[in-house]
Structure 1
Amino acid sequence: MNTPYAIGLDIGGTHITAAVINTREMKIIDSSLYKESFNSNLPVNEVMDIWKNVITTAITNSKTENITGIAVCMPGPFDYEKGISWIKDQSKYEYFYGLNVRELLLESLNFSKDFPVLFENDAVCFGKGEVFKNQENLSKKVMAVTLGTGLGACFIDNGISINSGNSVPADGEIYNLPYKEGMAEDYVSVRGLLSHYKSVSNVDLKNGLELYNLAKSGNEQAAKVFEKMGEDLAEVVIPWIKNFSADHIIIGGKIANASDLFLSSFNKKIKESNLEIEVSISNDNEIAALLGAVSFLCD
């Protein structure tokens, strides 16, 4: 019997990662893992050319032929059932608003219109993948948070993603929760970090890496911006940790790589709220997201 394989895609505001996954063993074919950074505000045809190159490279490097589906981690707002992007005014995918990404993908790859393509929220994929990686989490209530160009979250109870009911925010999302003078993502995201740094230094930085390097080189203003983000993150999630009765919170996303700059302030706020919860940082966000996405394809 031929082993079935699926393509896992982790698509963010600045990158796409693809891998071919053995769906029987739920393992990534290491040689297939391929990533490319790009500007998601390029015209649609240019973005699709980049995606096509990454996906076909992953398939070629995997040396497999029996591809049975595509599972895509995608940031919201997005109609995950129909495959339509509703991302707007978020400094990413501006030209994709209202477009059917499923159709664009299949057309770009010359796949048949009925080829299985599943979309899921990137934070949900990450959380599901983290639970899948650590079997102990299957019996726990886990809140997973992704920090990057946006602020993502998911709530998982005994391995099942929960996005409705009184114990979680609407659709399981926290990015749009009212916070201070705006919403949570205005403060806890790359955009939030850069905006805060500009307000205290009057300096415009290009990206989060510049801010991180400044903080690591001893710039006190930059370091304090990360510390404040840790406090803000805690204030956003504490009510929902309590509501959901979470046992474990897992923090991932690109900003998680700077956890040495914000985790202590985050943990301090958690402790002050008298919460007993395991806090951990994921060190392989993309692998978790890819496995999590394909696990939905296999459900």
Structure 2
Amino acid sequence: MSDKSEFILGVDIGGTHISAALVNKSTWKIVSNNVVRNHVFSQESAKSIFLSWADTINNCIKATALPINYIGIAMPGPFDYENGISLISGQSKYDALYQMNVKTPLAVLIGIPEKNIHFINDAAAFLQGEVFAQKLNTHERVLGITLGTGLGSAVWNKGDKSFDANLWDTPYENSIFEEYLVTRWFIRRFKELTELEVSGLKQIINEHTNNPAFSIICKEYASHLVDFLRFFSEKYNCTNFIIGGNIAKALPILLKDKQDQLNSFTIKTATLGEEAAIIGAAAQFS
């Protein structure tokens, strides 16, 4: 297709990664040979972060012969999506960007006008993509959760775009829900129980399933997640969930002893992976 308006660059920025791909606006599918992925050291300087983002985006643009005029970016919160200002602080990621307008330097580095760069919450973008991919758009409402370096929550209502439910900092136990449902909880809790340092849940599953602490962690995490499902479900009067993010891959292990408490929910695991957020980000220009 030669019409440049049929293609939009979609970008998914997480706590440790950035992925970019060309999205075909007529089909809302990714041009598969155009995906560029890179690791992001999100606790480094603002300059380092911007250069990492721009390098990935520019490499994706260079891989196509088409001129790219519009970029949609899925970004974790808290974030001023309208003005492109990061409000992330104290989450072990992007502290150097706190209260900084990230749209202006990014526009300069990639050569795209600021008005053509739109941001969307990553959880909302993920949910938007998954709802249509899994043909769940016949439901009146679907709730989305992303579990990774942060806790994302979003709501999709039939006939409307998904929005950020912004529940990450809801008070829970001795802190907030996010502190009990993300990667750093596994790291912290495993060290408390074993005095061992791990990088996250993946390492625990790969190396420590025989450790007595493993079953304790699974049960505790499952209880926290069930509490969050109940809270989210009651708040929006909905029992349909899509759960994604790196931790979601381990849900069969984490939730195997909680099936009786999950019967009241319809839970689907995300199928598109990073593609959901990329497509959802690009769909801002639909």
* Letter paired with 2:188: S
- The 5-angstrom pairing of residues 75-94 of structure 1 reads 75-94=76-95
Q: In structure 2, how many angstroms separate the alpha carbons of the residues matched to 1:283 and 1:221?
A: 30
Out of 256, 261, 264, the residue aligned to residue 264 of structure 1 is: 256
- The 5-angstrom pairing of residues 242-257 of structure 1 reads 242-257=234-249
Q: What's the % identity of the aligned pairs?
A: 29
* Letter paired with 2:88: I
Q: Contact 1:154/1:162 (CA < 8 Å) preserved in 2?
A: yes
- The 5-angstrom pairing of residues 45-194 of structure 1 reads 45-61=47-63, 63-114=64-115, 116-161=116-161, 172-194=165-187
Q: Contact 2:127/2:162 (CA < 8 Å) preserved in 1?
A: no
- 1:200 aligns to 2:198 (yes or no): no
Between the two proteins, the alignment pairs up a number of residues equal to 284
Deviation at 1:269, TM superposition (A): 2.6
Deviation at 1:21, TM superposition (A): 0.7
Q: Deviations over 1:178-198 (max 9, x none)?
A: 111000011100011112112
**Partner of residue 19, structure 1:** 21
Deviation at 1:162, TM superposition (A): 6.1
Out of 212, 215, 219, the residue aligned to residue 220 of structure 1 is: 212
Q: In structure 1, how many angstroms separate the alpha carbons of the residues matched to 2:93 and 2:200?
A: 14
Deviation at 1:283, TM superposition (A): 3.4
Corresponding residue SS for 1:176: coil
Cα distance change of structure 1 residues 139 and 269 upon mapping to structure 2, 3 Å threshold: closer
* Letter paired with 1:28: I
Q: In structure 2, how many angstroms separate the alpha carbons of the residues matched to 1:249 and 1:241?
A: 9
Corresponding residue SS for 2:129: helix
Structure-2-length-normalised TM-score: 0.92
Corresponding residue SS for 1:250: strand
* Letter paired with 1:14: T
Cα distance change of structure 1 residues 278 and 194 upon mapping to structure 2, 3 Å threshold: same
Gaps of 5+ in 2: none
Deviation at 1:254, TM superposition (A): 0.9
Q: In structure 1, how many angstroms separate the alpha carbons of the residues matched to 2:190 and 2:179?
A: 13
**Partner of residue 168, structure 1:** none
Cα distance change of structure 1 residues 190 and 9 upon mapping to structure 2, 3 Å threshold: same
Q: Contact 2:12/2:122 (CA < 8 Å) preserved in 1?
A: yes
Q: In structure 2, how many angstroms separate the alpha carbons of the residues matched to 1:73 and 1:188?
A: 21
Cα distance change of structure 1 residues 155 and 267 upon mapping to structure 2, 3 Å threshold: farther
Q: In structure 2, how many angstroms separate the alpha carbons of the residues matched to 1:90 and 1:111?
A: 29
Deviation at 1:99, TM superposition (A): 0.8
Q: Deviations over 1:192-233 (max 9, x none)?
A: 111211221122223332223234x43331243133212201
Corresponding residue SS for 1:8: strand
Moved more, 180-189 or 242-251: 242-251
Q: In structure 1, how many angstroms separate the alpha carbons of the residues matched to 2:261 and 2:276?
A: 27
Q: In structure 2, how many angstroms separate the alpha carbons of the residues matched to 1:218 and 1:92?
A: 31
Q: In structure 1, how many angstroms separate the alpha carbons of the residues matched to 2:45 and 2:220?
A: 36
Structure-1-length-normalised TM-score: 0.88
* Letter paired with 1:87: I
Corresponding residue SS for 2:38: strand
Q: Deviations over 1:59-94 (max 9, x none)?
A: 222x23232311111011100000000100110001
Q: Deviations over 1:149-178 (max 9, x none)?
A: 111100111152465xxxxxxx61221111
Q: Deviations over 1:241-293 (max 9, x none)?
A: 1332224111100111212321324543333xxx2x31111133211111111
Moved more, 65-74 or 121-130: 65-74
Q: Contact 1:132/1:138 (CA < 8 Å) preserved in 2?
A: no
**Partner of residue 278, structure 2:** 290
RMSD, aligned α-carbons: 1.9
Q: Contact 1:124/1:153 (CA < 8 Å) preserved in 2?
A: yes
